[in-house]
Chain A
Amino acid sequence: MTIPIVWYLVLAAVLFCIGTFGALTRRSGIAIFLSIELMLNAANLTLVAYSRIHGDSAGQMFVFFALAVAAAEAAVGLGLFISIFRLRHTIDVNRLNQLRW
């Protein structure tokens, strides 16, 4: 008795929506970052689920790569936030609005 694919997909969709909501509403840069990670992992979850259903390990390989890239991206992103914080003493994105006319 396996768990039907729909459950995985619903869970992934819920995670994705939570991530989107968080990315749009949180003001802290770190929190937005976490929300984005959440969306990324929702996508990973669908990949793993389909991989299992189809018995094809390519999906899981994709997820490994995605995780590796996400780790690298997280390192760069956190580094950026640290240097922004040093410069501006805040990472509130509402106050990081210099890139405009």
Chain B
Amino acid sequence: MSALDYLWLVPALPFLGAAVNGLLVRNRHKSLATAIGVGAPGLSLLVALACLAEFLARPGHAPFEQLLYPWTAGALSIDVAFLLDPLSAVMLFVVTFVGFVIHVYSVGYMAHEEGYRRFFAYMNLFMGAMLLLVLGSNFLVMFVGWEGVGLCSYLLIGFYFDQDFPPQAGRKAFIVNRIGDFAFLLGVFAIFAQFGTLSFKGVNTAILEDIGAAQAPFVLGLSVASFIALCLFVGAMGKSAQIPLYVWLPDAMAGPTPVSALIHAATMVTAGVYMVARTNLIYQLAPSVSMFVAVIGAATAIFAATIGIAQNDIKKVLAYSTVSQLGYMFLAAGVGAYVLAIFHLATHAFFKALLFLGSGSVIHAMGGEQDMRKMGSLRKHLPWTYRTFLIGTLAISGVPFLAGFFSKDAILGAAFEKSPVLWIIGIATAALTACYMLRLLCLTFLGKFRGTHEQQHHLHESPAVIVVPLVILATGAVFAGYAGKIPFTHFDWLGGFLASVIVVLPGHEGHVAHHEIGLEVMLVGASVLAAVAGLLLAWRLWGGYRGTSSDEALARRLPRAYRLVENKYFVDEIYDRFVVRPLRGFARFCWKVIDSVIIDGGLHVLAFLTELAGDLGRFTTTGNVRQYALYFFTGVLVLFWWMIF
């Protein structure tokens, strides 16, 4: 009996947990809800680890496919099947591990919230859908998971449904995601139309059999591969919050903090990156689309990073940081470094989940306050949160020997190879990242306390159930980077592990990206320098007891630029003006003119005519029998007249 035979349990357990918690458990049975809510992902993690252990022992990491149900409908033949190959193995580990840790954290964080049971039901549902997405062996299963996580994201953003903003944010997330999903679905249709199959393996085989066909012109002047790649990428834009569909992610912070950590930092938003890596063959055949991906990624990275500088809500900063880091991943995928995209995805999952959970611990201690202007000096009161948060900050900033450094540095190296412009943007983003993250740390943990007296009195370190997950994730944030490419050495475990997933096109074999030592020193030096420069700048502006005085100074010195950045480049306003309001106007037109006037009006006219005819007709029904007899007689006469003449 092999553990891999139980692979189906990995997504099934969280689904079961969601069903039991959602449908059977009562609200008052809180400990039962906890046991199921945390137990299901916990068991799922154990099964996943057993599967991974066995998978690693397989010779050559041969992909394992588990067919659950051959679903056939006419010419369309799609299996409900799971695929465990190196790529989904990495994702499986990240999702189950980080997911489980966040579930444990939620027990502490959500302890006093209304809807505790509902929260865990949604979270488990999310885990199930995400694992379906990751493990699916074809585009359809992936799409089901893809939509499932979107649904859970909507449910969890709007978790506090009794307030005004969260449900709105949830709807926004759902609608913006739908735009991307539409394109994703188009891509899937195109794949089926072209290759007659939806399984990842089948598509790759079909393409490799006839590369010319995949590069044949298709529609809109794009080749088959380009069209599919573009559609899929638009889908990824929505889910992974890239320009221009990133606007939902910052608003998604309206959900509880563990949700932000799990869904909007570590797992769901990286689904787009996973999908691009999964379909890397198509992207390799579509170089122009790949370039587009890289440009969008780089643009998103720097754009979001600049916004992050001027935000005062602790979670908003982290949200823009997430958007920015996702940009890095797409930059990597766009320049063809799919392994590095996944590498950054994994390290980012650790340190960004850590940062979000840390911010949750802060918010918890501050009694729900999220405005950094009212924080400060929390280092003294929340020592463990501070230590782990410091590790997270240094890791995301790209300080050497921590996780973020390895993945980010490798991505920048790959970007340099493709285009120095992208590299410069990447370096600038790295500096900005270090800057806004240290600003966040300084405003929150250092300096003087700027909140109310009551809040200060209430400050306390979070319980162990919150701190232990932080420590676990901090450990990951330190060591996760050693799994991948280490500069100046030939060590690259992750690269070797994932090599079989990245299809090498015929004629491109033997290309190994190893820079000369001089170039490598320059590249690594530049990224370290950028991180250090960003940190130093932030320390000069916000370090010590300066508080928010530098923000005010910046706002005074560069009023227009600061206002622009503080208001997120007015993108929401632009969308409101050019998309939302015209759409609303159109809907209003449909309602007020087409529905109320044309459709309802037509019916009203018809009803009026009928009534009029009735009104006229009823003058003839007087109730007088003799009159009726006269009608009758007249009728007979008319009939006779008609019959005779």
Q: Which residues of A contact B (CB under 8 A)?
A: 20, 23-25, 27, 32, 93-94, 96-101
CB distance from A74 to the nearest CB of B (A): 17
Closest to A26 in B: B626
B633 close to A20 (CB less than 8 A): yes
Interface residues of B in 597-645 (CB under 8 A from A): 618, 621-626, 629-630, 633
B633 touches A97 (CB 8 A): no
CB closest chain-B residue, reference A99: B623
Number of B residues near A (Cβ < 8 Å) is 10
Q: Is the CB–CB distance between A96 and B633 below 8 Å?
A: no
The contact sample of 15 A-B pairs, CB cut-off 8 A, is: A20-B633, A23-B626, A24-B629, A25-B626, A32-B625, A32-B629, A93-B624, A93-B625, A94-B626, A96-B625, A97-B622, A97-B624, A100-B618, A100-B622, A100-B624
Among B622, B624, B630: residue with most chain A CB under 10 A: B624
Considering the complex, give the chain A residue whose CB is closest to the CB of B625: A93
Q: Is the CB–CB distance between B623 and A24 below 8 Å?
A: no
A101 and B624 contacting across the interface, CB-CB below 8 Å: no
Q: How far is the CA of A3 from the CA of B387 in the complex (A)?
A: 135
Q: Give the residue among A25, A32, A101 with the most B Cβ atoms within 10 A.
A: A101
Q: Given contacts A32-B629, A100-B621, could you give 17 more A-B pairs where the C-beta distance is less than 8 Å?
A: A20-B633, A23-B626, A23-B629, A24-B626, A27-B626, A32-B625, A93-B624, A93-B625, A93-B626, A96-B623, A97-B622, A97-B624, A99-B621, A100-B618, A100-B623, A101-B618, A101-B621
The 9 closest A-B pairs by CB, nearest first: A100-B623, A97-B623, A101-B618, A93-B625, A99-B623, A97-B624, A100-B621, A100-B622, A24-B630
In the complex, what residues of B have CB within 8 A of residue A98's CB?
Answer: 623
**Bound complex: CA A67 to CA B111 (Å):** 96
Q: Quote the shortest CB–CB distance from B466 to chain A (angstroms).
A: 78
Contacts of A32 in B (CB 8 A): 625-626, 629
Query: Which A residues are in CB contact (< 8 Å) with B623?
Result: 96-100
Task: Tell me the smallest distance from the CB of B610 to a CB of chain A, in Å.
Answer: 15
Residue of A nearest to B615 (CB): A101
- B373 CB, nearest partner CB in chain A, Å: 76
Give the docked Cα–Cα distance between A27 and B630 (Å): 13
Which residue of chain B has its CB nearest to the CB of A29?
B625
**Chain B residues closer than 8 Å to A27, beta-carbon distance:** 626
Enumerate chain A residues within 8 angstroms of B621, measured Cβ to Cβ.
99-101
Instruction: Say whether B624 contacts A94, CB under 8 Å.
Output: yes
Query: Distance in Å from the Cβ of B634 to the closest Cβ of chain A?
Result: 10
